[in-house]
Amino acid sequence: MQAARLHKYDPSIPKQSLQIEDIPEPTIQGPMDVIVRIGAAGLCRTDIHIVEGQWAPITGMELPYVLGHENSGWVEEVGPGVTNVAPGDTVMVHPLITCGLCRACRAGDDMHCENSAFPGIDSDGGMAQLLRTSARSCVKLDPILQPKDIAALADAGLTAYHAVRKSVPHLYAGTKAVVIGAGGLGHIGIQCLKALTPAEIIVVDPNEKALALASEWGADQTVQVGDGYLDTIMEMTDGKGAEVVFDYVGERGAEDDAWKMTRRAGYHYVIGYGGTVEVPTIDIISSERNVIGNLVGTYNDLAELMILTAQGKVSLHTSTYPLDAVNDAIQDLNTGNLQGRGILIPEGAEA
Amino acid sequence: MQAARLHKYDPSIPKQSLQIEDIPEPTIQGPMDVIVRIGAAGLCRTDIHIVEGQWAPITGMELPYVLGHENSGWVEEVGPGVTNVAPGDTVMVHPLITCGLCRACRAGDDMHCENSAFPGIDSDGGMAQLLRTSARSCVKLDPILQPKDIAALADAGLTAYHAVRKSVPHLYAGTKAVVIGAGGLGHIGIQCLKALTPAEIIVVDPNEKALALASEWGADQTVQVGDGYLDTIMEMTDGKGAEVVFDYVGERGAEDDAWKMTRRAGYHYVIGYGGTVEVPTIDIISSERNVIGNLVGTYNDLAELMILTAQGKVSLHTSTYPLDAVNDAIQDLNTGNLQGRGILIPEGAEA
Amino acid sequence: MQAARLHKYDPSIPKQSLQIEDIPEPTIQGPMDVIVRIGAAGLCRTDIHIVEGQWAPITGMELPYVLGHENSGWVEEVGPGVTNVAPGDTVMVHPLITCGLCRACRAGDDMHCENSAFPGIDSDGGMAQLLRTSARSCVKLDPILQPKDIAALADAGLTAYHAVRKSVPHLYAGTKAVVIGAGGLGHIGIQCLKALTPAEIIVVDPNEKALALASEWGADQTVQVGDGYLDTIMEMTDGKGAEVVFDYVGERGAEDDAWKMTRRAGYHYVIGYGGTVEVPTIDIISSERNVIGNLVGTYNDLAELMILTAQGKVSLHTSTYPLDAVNDAIQDLNTGNLQGRGILIPEGAEA
Amino acid sequence: MQAARLHKYDPSIPKQSLQIEDIPEPTIQGPMDVIVRIGAAGLCRTDIHIVEGQWAPITGMELPYVLGHENSGWVEEVGPGVTNVAPGDTVMVHPLITCGLCRACRAGDDMHCENSAFPGIDSDGGMAQLLRTSARSCVKLDPILQPKDIAALADAGLTAYHAVRKSVPHLYAGTKAVVIGAGGLGHIGIQCLKALTPAEIIVVDPNEKALALASEWGADQTVQVGDGYLDTIMEMTDGKGAEVVFDYVGERGAEDDAWKMTRRAGYHYVIGYGGTVEVPTIDIISSERNVIGNLVGTYNDLAELMILTAQGKVSLHTSTYPLDAVNDAIQDLNTGNLQGRGILIPEGAEA
């Protein structure tokens, strides 16, 4: 089958980051396995970080392997123990394969499953025609939904939703939320904030066009990154900072600014990554601020997000590429020329 | 009256850090003011950090002023609007003076009062014979209680309790808590953990004697800081780290180690300070760990801690000095020769 | 001054339930007292229950006294200790006078203050030209706001908001909320649900016109009370019932139906009253359902509700009467002829 | 194999409530099935309620069937998909068989699984030599543990623990908890309260001997049910009632008294059953009290309880009977002559 594989880490993000090649199809190996025919695979900034080699020390993956951790499509084949989906079903694929037996899975924190796999990160992913996943990872969808319209919700959307859902107790009427980065994750985060909280939403981005779109998605105020923009945000928050700051960037200074614009007793949510949070302990304790890590969401989070999508409260802004143009998509994402989320369509995929 | 005042910041913590001198007595200035005759004032590592000048940029205090933010004694005089205490009452003094009208005060977060004062840090404190505070800061006690036995609970104990109380939802049966630092705060933290949670308690300290005492206070396991001690803790936590790590030191490397021994989805509580927390954002997001700031507790926290004390579940380990020996106490604390909390007794104080 | 007083309990709700009479003006008695010139006083179903005598055994009030616990107006005079408001300020009056010193006040649960008064229920209220309240009860408003447009938010709105705010953790995307009663409280509850949660809102009422209005305020589905209506609701909730049922009626069978339409592990919120909840313990335990009491909200709840109002997310549907027509208003409310909330305007009140 | 089956509902609890008979052994039917050789089966008041017919309308079970929902033993045989336990393992059996795929299972509320079975209630249970359960229901134990010492924790203990665990946020230092009924569930509840909270524990029972035992298990105060006992409890709680009342009886008036001794804003936990909770809505709303349903606990609850047991914080008080004496045990339980939990040992069971 057609697949996009990484053969070499390269921090320069070369023009041919991935190779399009023909590889053997995945097969059912366990009773709960599910093979999904990919309708669409999302491209994520994490894919760039994988190409750069940032994830190598964490996953220890041997190259080459297929990237792609935002997948949606139709069930092709199921293992003998699978009862919740059947061939032909339209499905959203939760990015993690989880065991269902460990404490985390049983506690509703399946993203911390002690026996998980993360196809596209630590095993073959969905930038291909077929993907092997498990029954526990399939969210069955209404067949009228098109994978290309929703695939990017599988990870980017799910991560943005998960962070916003965790913040609900802190964002009551009268509070302010700052969203740093109105890109692929941020624009979903803005819509989720609007759907789940009455907070006033301030969106920060260097890109004027992104800010204009942010206003359409629900931003109450927008601030262009530039000299003195931090002062602007402090003024908008009565000199106190915001109750919750969502940093969807996590590098190039955003991680410092995020902390600075967090209010006393407030929360600095780290979602994007690449940089380093560096804060004197005296600042942490004297203001009782918190730094909150955010990983991808749970299966239930994904099911909830699908409901918000069905209700029209969340929609994706996408740019579509054929799978064999994945390297163009990567370049566009890396140079800031990709608006919304990049979606890759394998050869022959159709609704 | 007799008082111990700071006249000069000095990072070297000189032998005469404070001056014992005779200054005018405080007087009632507002209807809710209360003058307390100090029975005992606790000495805290924060006093050393104040002498060093660490707090100067935060408080902007003009020198000289009276230190001492852990105070207990007897009511001497009250303003015309005070109804909850009367002259002669034994009281514990909450370290903050709060307004009772702002959102934080009304939400049960009075340590984030928007109009607060912190005597001993940003105004004259209790290392003196008399202290001016407010009605809202007085916790009325059973007259059989002795200020010298409890004064250090006013801030050190309150801070330790506040952090532990916040952690209760995370410390269910089967979890592990690491306590870094079995000193003045840590030894109260250990007892509070024992009283409020079923977690297994692992205590870390460089001092063997402190660890022996930690076992008496309720530590299930102790680890002496030294080469490879981090490995020992990882082994004790099945290679995963602890659900909550309480860092009562916050400097000299403890702040790094605390993060490293925090489990996936776990909490690194910063309580001590002096150093800097420095963590790559990829580590924060890939493990979904959290850094939690901890300030002093609320008035209700203090009232609860007084109940635990009355129930015999928390007791203080103290070393007593006359107020005019405050500089000896400071030296002992700074050189690690002060076991438990230092307590200063002004001239003429008696039960 | 002009005031409407209750002289006699009468379950028949006679045409002259209250007497309009001239009584002495209230005066400042304590340092924190505030006299408010009433701009508007809301009429509430509780006023009818007071006239009926339902509250007599609870309050033990001696007659006659002035009713009216939903008050807004302008500060007329303040006690010597009052700093947060000044004569001329437009204010919303929180219905409770609270002490600010007890555990409940300090924990953010001031509606459970141990030393509270409830003017209009257990002391003279605001169906008059002047009302005595306290500094802690005054929410300062933008002077462009008109008391007559917001007065009913002081208690009815606050109660509806408080219940909805408590339910937020239970009403995530994909859940269903049933609102029983689209009247004075219910119509605010619907708007608050819309503002704070992504739940699907099903509104139940016997009155067709009320249901039509409910749809405008944000109901996703409406059901007219009548034969088989309970079956309709069970169908709308996949035979499982709703995660949260808000019973704004609490009598005439609504209290039974509310329980029946509550899902396993769900919450039956009691807000209206008059009837009796009667449930076999085996039903309670085998389904793990909960019955949740709901009183008026806190001061912070009221401040939040004012923000939602200012943001245009909550608006009141009102019918205005001069204060001396209070008995007509009572009859209209009792016979179901009062749409939205009844608002009483004392003689001479003006913005 | 030997089994105890119910052939006829009879509210009089006849001397031969169950029949000891020889029936076919259960067999593996699905890939996740596990056959457990029963070491011990607990006898529960619910078994009496089943015999009475109270559960018949809820389960719609056809008679005869094997009772017994508190089971522990050793794995005898496993289905082809089972990986977490193997023949010979000592296991505690969670009373529910759950699917692991529905929202409740994935949210950590597996006791609300939408596809669950409850052996011993709605299918054949463990009062027999062998029991069929599923991999998801097995908690693997240290082989030195003896089924007869812990079996009753599977449901009675789990239910008591679940209720206490839910109450932790309400039972901070200085609060009071009333435990009604110091029998089979109550005595575990008392120990769990002691292990998880700093609350003062007041235990209520008609039986003097049970109260004496309650003191050994951790009760701070005990009250014998009798004339005026409710007044005694109100005095012990400063006239306010307790923050949480655990009603392990739920019938014969306990359900009324439990409500009356619940404090404003407090929680009445219904755990025992048989009676009816009947409360005027005005009492519910004017005090904002809550009635909380409590079902059996989750798998994680059971794992936590096993840890408390291993730590020596919870131990069972039991009376052992051979399985063929089950009817004697039922009579003893019904007449109040069974101290602690009744444990049934099938023929030939051994560690």
DSSP per residue, A101-158: -SHHHHTT-GGG-TT-B-BTTTB--SSBSEEEEEGGGEEE--TTS-HHHHGGGGTHHH
Strands B200-205 and B176-180 come out as parallel
Cα(C156)–Cα(C95) distance, rounded to whole angstroms? 10
**Which region holds residue B340: left if phi is over 0, alpha if psi is between -120 and 50, else beta?**
left
Asked if residue C144 and residue C66 are part of one domain, the reply reads: yes
pLDDT for residue C143 is more than 50? yes
pLDDT for residue C51 is more than 60? yes
Asked if residue C219 and residue C171 are part of one domain, the reply reads: yes
Q: Looking at the domain assignment, is residue C350 inside a domain?
A: no
Please tell me the distance in Å from A102's CA to the nearest CA on chain C: 24
Cα(A50)–Cα(A53) distance, rounded to whole angstroms? 5
Helix (H) or strand (E) holding C190: helix C186-196
Q: Which residue of chain D comes nearest to A104, CA vs CA?
A: D108
| CATH number, domain with residue A193 | 3.40.50.720
Helix (H) or strand (E) holding D267: strand D262-270
Mean of the per-residue pLDDT values of chain D = 95
Ramachandran angles phi, psi of D240, nearest 5°: -110, -15
Q: CA–CA distance from C333 to each of A28, B28, C67, C329 (Å)?
A: 68, 53, 15, 6
Please tell me the distance in Å from A308's CA to the nearest CA on chain C: 6
Contact D141, D91 (CB under 8 A): yes
Report the number of secondary-structure helices (H) and strands (E) in chain B: 12, 17
Residues of B in contact with D308 (CB under 8 A): 173, 198
For the beta carbon of residue A224, count every other beta carbon within 10 angstroms.
14
Cα(A139)–Cα(A75) distance, rounded to whole angstroms? 11
| CATH number, domain with residue C112 | 3.90.180.10
Q: In the predicted model, what is the mean pLDDT of residues A186-215?
A: 96
Residues of D in contact with A80 (CB under 8 A): 31
- For B318-345, give the secondary structure using H, E and C: EEEEEHHHHHHHHHHHHCCCCCCEEEEE
Contact A236, A263 (CB under 8 A): no
pLDDT score recorded for residue B265 = 97
The pLDDT tens digits for A255-277 are: 999 999 999 999 999 999 999 99
Mean of the per-residue pLDDT values of chain B = 95
Asked if residue A135 and residue A185 are part of one domain, the reply reads: no
pLDDT score recorded for residue C70 = 96
Check CB contact under 8 Å for C281 and D275.
yes
Residues of A in contact with B280 (CB under 8 A): 273, 275-277
Map residue D341 onto helix, strand or coil. strand
Q: Which residue of chain B comes nearest to C303, CA vs CA?
A: B103
Residues of C in contact with D49 (CB under 8 A): 282
D44 vs C38: which has the higher pLDDT: C38
pLDDT for residue D269 is more than 80? yes
The band of B351, judged by pLDDT with boundaries at 50, 70 and 90, is: very low
Q: In the predicted model, what is the mean pLDDT of residues B337-351?
A: 85
Q: From the list C168, C173, C305, which residue is nearest A308 (CB)?
A: C173
Check CB contact under 8 Å for D280 and C284.
no
Amino acid, res. D153: L
The band of A351, judged by pLDDT with boundaries at 50, 70 and 90, is: very low
Asked if residue B170 and residue B140 are part of one domain, the reply reads: no
Q: Looking at the domain assignment, is residue D350 inside a domain?
A: no
User: Which of B273, B293, B313 is the C-terminal boundary of a domain?
Assistant: B293
Asked if residue C198 and residue C327 are part of one domain, the reply reads: no
Degrees, nearest 5: CA angle B169-D69-D51? 125
* Burial class, A52, CB count within 10 angstroms (exposed 0-12 / middle 13-18 / buried 19+): middle
Cα(A179)–Cα(A191) distance, rounded to whole angstroms? 11
Asked if residue D101 and residue D184 are part of one domain, the reply reads: no
Asked if residue B83 and residue B19 are part of one domain, the reply reads: yes
Contact A293, B290 (CB under 8 A): yes
> Two tokens at D334?
């019904």
Q: Looking at the domain assignment, is residue D243 inside a domain?
A: yes
Q: Which residue of chain D comes nearest to A304, CA vs CA?
A: D103
The rounded Cα B316 to chain-centroid distance in angstroms is 12
Q: In the predicted model, what is the mean pLDDT of residues D95-107?
A: 95
Q: In the predicted model, what is the mean pLDDT of residues B227-233?
A: 97
Asked if residue A278 and residue A204 are part of one domain, the reply reads: yes
The band of D83, judged by pLDDT with boundaries at 50, 70 and 90, is: confident
A70 vs A45: which has the higher pLDDT: A70
pLDDT for residue C351 is more than 50? no
The pLDDT tens digits for A102-122 are: 999 999 999 999 999 999 999
Q: Looking at the domain assignment, is residue A195 inside a domain?
A: yes
The band of B350, judged by pLDDT with boundaries at 50, 70 and 90, is: low
Give the neighbours of chain C: at least 3 Cβ pairs within 8 Å: A, B, D
Bond into A26 cis (ω within 30): no
- D8 reaches A (C-beta below 8 A): no
Contact B272, B181 (CB under 8 A): yes
Map residue C296 onto helix, strand or coil. coil
User: Which residues lie across from C152 on neighbouring strands?
Assistant: none
Check CB contact under 8 Å for A106 and D108.
yes
The pLDDT tens digits for C148-184 are: 999 989 998 999 999 999 999 999 999 999 999 998 8
Contact C183, C247 (CB under 8 A): no
Give the CB-side neighbour count of residue C175, counting CA atoms within 13 A. 29
Residues of D in contact with A107 (CB under 8 A): 108, 300
Residues 6+ away with beta carbon under 8 Å from D209? D339
Cα(A162)–Cα(A156) distance, rounded to whole angstroms? 10
Q: Looking at the domain assignment, is residue A252 inside a domain?
A: yes
* Burial class, D231, CB count within 10 angstroms (exposed 0-12 / middle 13-18 / buried 19+): exposed
Q: Looking at the domain assignment, is residue C50 inside a domain?
A: yes
Give the neighbours of chain B: at least 3 Cβ pairs within 8 Å: A, C, D
The pLDDT tens digits for C72-119 are: 999 999 998 888 999 999 999 999 999 999 999 999 999 999 999 999
Asked if residue B211 and residue B98 are part of one domain, the reply reads: no
Ramachandran angles phi, psi of C203, nearest 5°: -110, 135
Cα(A267)–Cα(A242) distance, rounded to whole angstroms? 8
pLDDT for residue C350 is more than 80? no
Tell me the DSSP string of C200-243: EEEEEES-HHHHHHHHHHT-SEEEE-STTHHHHHHHHTTTS-EE
List the domain range (segments joined by +) for residue A236.
158-293
Asked if residue A27 and residue A143 are part of one domain, the reply reads: yes
pLDDT score recorded for residue C340 = 79
Strands C176-180 and C200-205 come out as parallel
User: Which of A34, A91, A106 has the most D C-beta neighbours within 10 Å, making it the best mutation to test the interface with D?
Assistant: A106
Check CB contact under 8 Å for A281 and B112.
no
The percent of residues in chain B predicted with pLDDT above 70, rounded, is 99
Residue holding tokens 């566009």?
A332
> Two tokens at A222?
């927008």
Chains B, C: CB contacts within 8 A come to 42
Amino acid, res. C172: Y
The percent of residues in chain C predicted with pLDDT above 90, rounded, is 88
pLDDT for residue C262 is more than 60? yes
Check CB contact under 8 Å for A279 and B274.
no
Strands A242-247 and A176-180 come out as parallel
Nearest Cα to Cα of residue B297 among B104, B160, B137:
B160
Using the 8-state DSSP alphabet, how is residue C151 labeled?
A: G
Using the 8-state DSSP alphabet, how is residue C98 labeled?
A: -
The band of C52, judged by pLDDT with boundaries at 50, 70 and 90, is: very high
- Scanning D271-310 for CB atoms below 8 A from C yields 271-282, 284-295
pLDDT for residue B338 is more than 60? yes
Q: Looking at the domain assignment, is residue A256 inside a domain?
A: yes
Q: Which residue of chain C comes nearest to B101, CA vs CA?
A: C136
* Burial class, C27, CB count within 10 angstroms (exposed 0-12 / middle 13-18 / buried 19+): exposed
Using the 8-state DSSP alphabet, how is residue B128 labeled?
A: B
pTM of the model: 0.94
Map residue B193 onto helix, strand or coil. helix
The percent of residues in chain C predicted with pLDDT above 70, rounded, is 99
pLDDT for residue D351 is more than 50? no
Residues of B in contact with C105 (CB under 8 A): 106
Asked if residue A252 and residue A329 are part of one domain, the reply reads: no
The rounded Cα C6 to chain-centroid distance in angstroms is 20
Asked if residue B212 and residue B96 are part of one domain, the reply reads: no
Q: CA–CA distance from A12 to each of A16, A46, A67, A328, D86 (Å)?
A: 11, 15, 18, 15, 51
Please tell me the distance in Å from C33's CA to the nearest CA on chain B: 12
The pLDDT tens digits for D20-48 are: 999 999 999 988 899 999 999 999 988 99
Q: In the predicted model, what is the mean pLDDT of residues B107-120?
A: 95
pLDDT score recorded for residue D31 = 83
Q: Looking at the domain assignment, is residue D279 inside a domain?
A: yes
Q: In the predicted model, what is the mean pLDDT of residues C239-251?
A: 97
Residues of B in contact with C110 (CB under 8 A): 106
E-assigned strands of chain B? Answer: 2-6, 18-22, 33-43, 65-66, 71-78, 90-93, 130-134, 138-140, 176-180, 200-205, 221-224, 242-247, 262-270, 276-280, 290-293, 318-322, 341-345
Cα(B85)–Cα(D219) distance, rounded to whole angstroms? 33
Q: Which residue of chain D comes nearest to C55, CA vs CA?
A: D282
- D108 reaches A (C-beta below 8 A): yes
Number of domains in chain B: 2
Q: Which residue of chain B comes nearest to D220, CA vs CA?
A: B311
